[in-house]
Amino acid sequence: MSGKILEFSHVAAGYGDREILKDITLSIHEGEFTGLIGSNGTGKSTLIKCISGLLPLNRGNISICGKENATLKSRERAQLVAVVPQSYHVEYDFTVEDIVMMGRNPYLGFRKRESQEDYDIVSEAMKATNTEVFRGRFYNELSGGERQRVILARAIAQKPRIILLDEPTSALDIYHQMEVMELITKLNQKEHMTVLAVLHDINMASRFCQRIVMLQEGTVFMDGTPQEVINRRNMEALYHMKLMIRESPLFHKPEIVPIRVMEQEKIEVPRHIHIICGAAEAVNLIEELDARGCTVTAGVLDKQSEDWKICHQLGIPCVDIEPFTSVTEEKQAKNLELMKDADMIVVANVPFGEGNIQNLHGLEFTCGKIYIHKNALCDDYTDGKLAKRVKDIEKRKEITYFENDREFLDLLKQTERQ
Q: In the prediction, which pLDDT does 417 show?
A: 67
Banded model confidence at residue 176, pLDDT cuts 50, 70, 90: confident
Starting at the earlier edge strand, list the strands of the sheet with 67-68: 67-68, 59-64, 4-15, 18-29, 219-224, 211-216, 33-37, 194-198, 162-166, 81-84
Banded model confidence at residue 242, pLDDT cuts 50, 70, 90: confident
Q: In the prediction, which pLDDT does 268 show?
A: 82
Banded model confidence at residue 354, pLDDT cuts 50, 70, 90: very high
The third-level CATH classification (topology) of the domain covering 4-223 is Rossmann fold (3.40.50)
At the top level of CATH, the class of 272-417 is: alpha beta
Taking alpha carbons only, the member of 284, 242, 294, 234 closest to residue 263 is: 242
Q: In the prediction, which pLDDT does 418 show?
A: 61
Cα Dmax for the chain: 99
Task: Note whether 343 and 272 are within 8 A (CB).
Answer: yes
For range 220-243, the mean pLDDT: 92
pLDDT tens-place string over residues 7-38: 999 999 999 999 999 999 999 999 999 999 99
pLDDT tens-place string over residues 318-333: 999 999 899 999 999 9
Q: In the prediction, which pLDDT does 270 show?
A: 82
Percentage of the chain surpassing pLDDT 90? 76
For range 185-213, the mean pLDDT: 94
Q: What value does the mean pLDDT of the chain take?
A: 92
Banded model confidence at residue 344, pLDDT cuts 50, 70, 90: very high
Q: In the prediction, which pLDDT does 307 show?
A: 94
Percentage of the chain surpassing pLDDT 70? 99
Q: In the prediction, which pLDDT does 194 show?
A: 96
Q: In the prediction, which pLDDT does 156 show?
A: 94
- CA-to-CA distance for 251 and 148, rounded, in angstroms? 25
Banded model confidence at residue 316, pLDDT cuts 50, 70, 90: very high
For the cut 60, the answer to whether the pLDDT of residue 372 exceeds it is yes
pLDDT tens-place string over residues 275-312: 999 888 899 999 999 999 999 999 999 998 999 999 99
Q: In the prediction, which pLDDT does 37 show?
A: 96
Q: In the prediction, which pLDDT does 241 show?
A: 87
pTM above 0.95, yes or no: no
Region(s) of the chain under CATH 3.40.50.720:
272-417
Q: In the prediction, which pLDDT does 368 show?
A: 95
Q: In the prediction, which pLDDT does 2 show?
A: 65
For the cut 60, the answer to whether the pLDDT of residue 1 exceeds it is no
Q: In the prediction, which pLDDT does 319 show?
A: 96
For the cut 70, the answer to whether the pLDDT of residue 335 exceeds it is yes
